[in-house]
């Protein structure tokens, strides 16, 4: 979403000749995010303007991307509001632009809700559960590429930048999660395609009749097959916390988990490992933010996130008692 690869008006106009999208009216870079180059694309056809999102992928490969793009198409056909990839005239939804993989998707209406209340969280929990169920018959398989093997691999790269306390926390938590991931309970947890990055800036709300209604989820480019409980924990760790302290807001967390549970009932095993998954979700983003912060890439609009945010969240989850975890449950 930062702009690593710049594209001129003439370049995008030439590239879009393979599509039935009309003439380019505007191409505007999107400044948020740190993974891909994203642009708002406006075209005009038959006197009508339409808006899309153009993404140029900086790390993901042509071999990896079909999983994400076809997942979005799969979910869209099953009533989950997500960006739908636009095929070119030859039917392909992934093409090369400036030597890199690129795609065009529909632009969802609405805006991100960066100060969510319990009602917003309930809507997100409901749609997340429906998304998980809708993805059950998705035929492609790809693991979450930012799961335990990546944490273990990245540890050696980021440890030199950490102080003793941080290094100890990182190593001990990776060891804890490795034991959890290797357990029979973990193997028994249900799963399937997951968003794996459903932060509050990856969902849009529309104002309808004076009320805010969830318009959809986007940015599926960290998606992968994982445990559904992990996806829920990642989402709760962002939507249902006090941003300054990382402390869970029990009212919001309860609203989200309860709404999720009403659609896809959560099991006793999932309840028993809720705190483990909240820790796993915090660890995943602490590791990735450390990596992005200390080993950055150049970009025209790059805004690396502060890694200490998820260090605080991880420490808060470690300090949670069983009773505290239960308050954020159903």
Q: Does domain 118-327 have CATH number 3.40.50.2300?
A: no
The predicted pLDDT at position 207 comes to 85
Going along 223-298, which residue ranges are E strands? Answer: 224-227
Beta-ladder partners of 100: 97
- 140 vs 55, 145, 150, CA distance in Å? 21, 15, 21
DSSP label of 91: S
DSSP label of 227: E
Confidence band (pLDDT; 50, 70, 90) for 32?
low
Q: Where are the domains of the chain?
A: 9-106, 118-327
pLDDT tens digits for range 129-145: 999 999 999 999 999 99
9-106: what fold?
Answer: Phosphorylase Kinase; domain 1 (3.30.200)
Confidence band (pLDDT; 50, 70, 90) for 298?
low
The predicted pLDDT at position 34 comes to 64
Q: Model's pTM, two decimal places?
A: 0.93
Q: What are phi and psi of 185, to 5 degrees?
A: -60, -45
| The CA-based dihedral angle spanning residues 78, 79, 84, 88, taken in that order and rounded to the nearest 10 degrees | 50
């Amino acid at each position: 979403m930062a702009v690593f690869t710049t594209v001129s008006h003439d370049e995008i106009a030439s590239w879009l000749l393979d599509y039935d999208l009309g003439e380019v009216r505007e191409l505007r870079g999107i400044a948020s995010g740190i993974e891909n180059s994203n642009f708002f694309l406006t075209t005009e056809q038959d006197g009508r303007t339409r808006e899309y999102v153009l993404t140029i992928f900086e790390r993901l490969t042509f071999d990896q991307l079909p999983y994400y793009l076809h997942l979005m198409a799969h979910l869209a056909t099953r009533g989950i509001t997500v960006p739908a990839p636009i095929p070119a005239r030859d039917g392909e939804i992934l093409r090369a632009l400036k030597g890199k993989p690129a795609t065009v998707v529909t632009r969802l209406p609405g805006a991100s809700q960066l100060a969510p209340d319990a009602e917003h969280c309930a809507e997100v929990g409901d749609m997340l559960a429906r998304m998980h169920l809708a993805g059950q018959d998705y035929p492609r398989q790809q693991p979450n590429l930012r799961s335990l093997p990546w944490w273990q691999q990245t540890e050696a790269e980021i440890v030199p930048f950490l102080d003793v306390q941080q290094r100890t926390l990182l190593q001990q938590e990776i060891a804890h999660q490795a034991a959890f991931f290797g357990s029979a309970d973990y193997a028994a947890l249900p799963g399937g395609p997951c968003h794996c990055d459903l932060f509050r800036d990856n969902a849009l709300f529309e104002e309808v009749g004076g009320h805010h209604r969830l318009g959809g989820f986007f940015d599926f480019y960290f998606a992968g097959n994982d445990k559904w409980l992990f996806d829920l924990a990642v989402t709760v760790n962002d939507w249902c916390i006090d941003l300054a302290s990382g402390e869970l807001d029990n009212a919001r967390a309860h609203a989200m988990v309860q709404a999720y549970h009403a659609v896809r009932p959560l099991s006793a095993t999932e309840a028993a490992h809720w705190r483990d998954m909240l820790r796993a979700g915090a660890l995943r983003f602490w590791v990735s933010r450390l990596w992005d912060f200390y080993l950055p890439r150049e970009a025209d609009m790059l805004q690396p996130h502060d890694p200490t945010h998820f260090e605080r969240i991880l420490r808060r989850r470690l300090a949670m008692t069983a009773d505290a975890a239960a308050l954020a449950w159903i």
